[in-house]
Amino acid sequence: ALKPNPRKRKPKYDLPLPSIHDHSHVNSGRQACKRHELYVSFSDLGWKDWVLAPSGYSAFYCDGECLYPLGSCMNATNHAMIQLVVHLLKPDEVPKACCAPTKLSPISVLFYDDNNNVILKKHRNMVVKTCGC
């Protein structure tokens, strides 16, 4: 029942026991890996009479920590888990697992050309749909 001595630092490789409600890294201000969105309205660009649809563009990107891929709110590949363990063992040789797109989705745009013809362009696998480690 003795309390551990607060001065004594925890060893670096002390992995916390995974638990389904482990949000400690989120509370410490470090966001878990997820998709972020920077939305740009076409009205802001003065394109309202040019682009019929969509009404704006979502510049999705992936950002966040992959320190504890075993946490409940993170999807991580097996590869990321292994990479994290190896990184903890050899931090100088193997980088941490990174937060990256795992699924891409298509995007379409409807706009007028110079001759007032309407054009629909479809681009497959062009914007980030989900992120993961």
Partner 1 sequence: HQAQGVVHSSFRRLSSREKKEMQREILSILGLPGRPRPHPPLRPPSSAPLFMLDLYHAVSAEGDEGNGIGNEVGGLGHAALPTLSTHTPPLGTVVSEADTVMSFVNLVEQERDLLQPRPYWKEFRFDLTPLPQGETVTAAEFRIYKTLTMGQRANRTLHISVYEIQRESKHREPELVLLDIQSVPAGQEGWLAFDVTSASNRWLLHPRSNLGIRLYVETEEDRSLSAGWVGLVGRRGPRSKQPFMVTFFRASQVPCRPPR
- Binding of partner 1 by 100 (CB under 8 A): no
Least distance from partner 1 to the Cβ atom of residue 105, Å: 6
Is the distance from CB of 69 to CB of 97 less than 8 angstroms? Answer: yes
- Binding of partner 1 by 105 (CB under 8 A): yes
Report the site for partner 1 in 15-74 (rule: CB under 8 A): 37-41, 43-47, 49-59, 61
Contact residue for partner 1 among 96, 100, 102, 111 (CB under 8 A):
111
Could you give the CA distance from residue 130 to residue 83 in angstroms, rounded to a whole number?
A: 20
Q: What share of the chain is helix, strand, coil (3-state, %, to 5)?
A: 10, 35, 50
CA angle 41, 34, 84 (to 5 degrees): 150
Least distance from partner 1 to the Cβ atom of residue 132, Å: 18
Minimum CB distance to partner 1 smaller for 60 or for 68: 60
Closest to 79 measured CA to CA, from 71, 54, 87: 87
Q: Count residues near partner 1 (CB under 8 A).
A: 45
The residue ranges that bind partner 1 (CB under 8 A) are 37-41, 43-47, 49-59, 61, 105-127
